[in-house]
Structure 1
Amino acid sequence: MLTQPTTRVLEPRELDAARAVLDRDPVTNAFVAARVRAAGLDPWRLGGEMWGWYADGRLESLCYAGANLVPVEAGPEAVHAFADRARRSGRRCSSIVGPADSTALLWSLLEPSWGPAREVRRRQPLMVTSALPSGVRPDPLVRRVRKDEMDVIMPACVSMFTEEVGVSPLAGDGGLLYQARVAELVGSGRAFARIENGRVVFKAEIGAATALACQIQGVWVDPEYRGRGLSETGMAAVLRYALADVAPVASLYVNDFNTAARAAYRRVGFRETGTFMSVLF
């Protein structure tokens, strides 16, 4: 029995305990919960380690350490423990992302050894809805992307990623991992778009999904079509699929400086319930 606070890599047999931590806030924890749901706790299948922080022998907090470093249900003591482990391991992630308070503390502890970051986005409102909008008609032309449309959707995905993150997803491995992720979303029926004459004018994906909540990502409108309300009607259409087929609650997080997007999401029925933070390397 563990009696002193400690942190270690979780073992597959601790899956139920990890799920119990994630289920404390299924909306905020949707990203990590979806990965655990799909892969369990095996590091190879999970794409990283799951660190656990224990107090009085009980698993209280998690930290996913893969391509992203994500603190989960982590108070100050747990964050300090995760930061110590991360420093010893060295930086292997491309970003730190999670609830703003725990992520800000984690970054303050890691910045002296991991910094500088390429960009720090300290306030990204988490927006949530569980109902279809009453005042916005879903775009009837938004539909699931077919598997044979990968060559159509990929340029839009690359443009969105580059615009949002500030670097191209094609760097490094030539985009193989990114293309595989897009193909996974298309193949699972969680990629949506309005396509006109072979050109994507609106797109979005349901990036993380559990039985309790899902997270919409990659919302993008072709620059030539912006200002026409396509983000609102398109999001209403994606929500129709999400709430009917995936989970009873849908969420997303958005940069605080993107006032146009925040206003559009509010018109579609999203409300701000929390704040995320991202550190990009």
Structure 2
Amino acid sequence: MALPLNVISPVLLILGILSTGPGFSDSARIFTIINNCKETIWPGITPGENFNGGGFDLKSGQSIVFTAPVGWSGRIWGRTGCVFDKDGNGTCQTGACRSALKCKASGDPPATLAEFTLTATDFYDVSLVDGFNLPVAVTPLNGQGNCSVAGCDQDLRPSCPKELSVKVKGKTVGCRSACDVFNTDEYCCKGLYGNPVTCQPTYYSKLFKQACPTAYSYAYDDPSSIFTCVGTDYVITFCSARNQTVCTYHDNRLVCSGSNNEDFGSQTGRFGILLLALVSLLNLLIMS
């Protein structure tokens, strides 16, 4: 029987802690995915081989930890309003990757996308080019370089223009892009508009950019939307402010954003951290 996700998370955290020790490739990046939304979401990830097959449920308040090697280039997004059967087949109101729980392809728009290319210098961004369905923040930790927080922490659904809104039972669950709705060269940056000189911000992309200044609002919105960092770990937080403190473990240390990092390695060492994580796991098993 599969363990519930709130039990799996500490197990993966332990693996993440151990993986940062001697003998583990320095190229690995730790990804911590957190759901601060009030409802369950279903993260979709492609390629998903390093991320539990590309899809899983994540209840409100839960988090999960993965590692990915340099060379991985992919997308992470949240799906909403999903119903899956025991075989992993079902439907979602937004972000669905066909009918599968474990995604093998990108999700259907509208979906807020966190995008990554892991190289010697990582590139990452949050994109609204395929529309919006959930606030997302990407916080790099323990890296070198610019390493800015990327994301869209505003909920664009209540203010979404009527012509872009996706509604379910009268409630706006997503905000489509103008390209998705109107499919013109101007909105889609194609044809005569397929370059950064002729493809310029539109009325709709400006609305997105005003609300989320560090997210891609259209295809060539590079200067203020794409970020770089060297040797970093990532915390991807759904429904959270960009300046909210988030943490991950790296090289025996609890590394947090916006605070002085406490060096657990100097106090407890690797086995002390492992013991603390095992105690947390035991407590979760007892509660479940």
Settle same-fold status: TM greater than 0.5. Answer: no
Q: Which has the higher helix share?
A: 1
Compute the TM-score of the two structures, normalised by the length of structure 2. Answer: 0.28
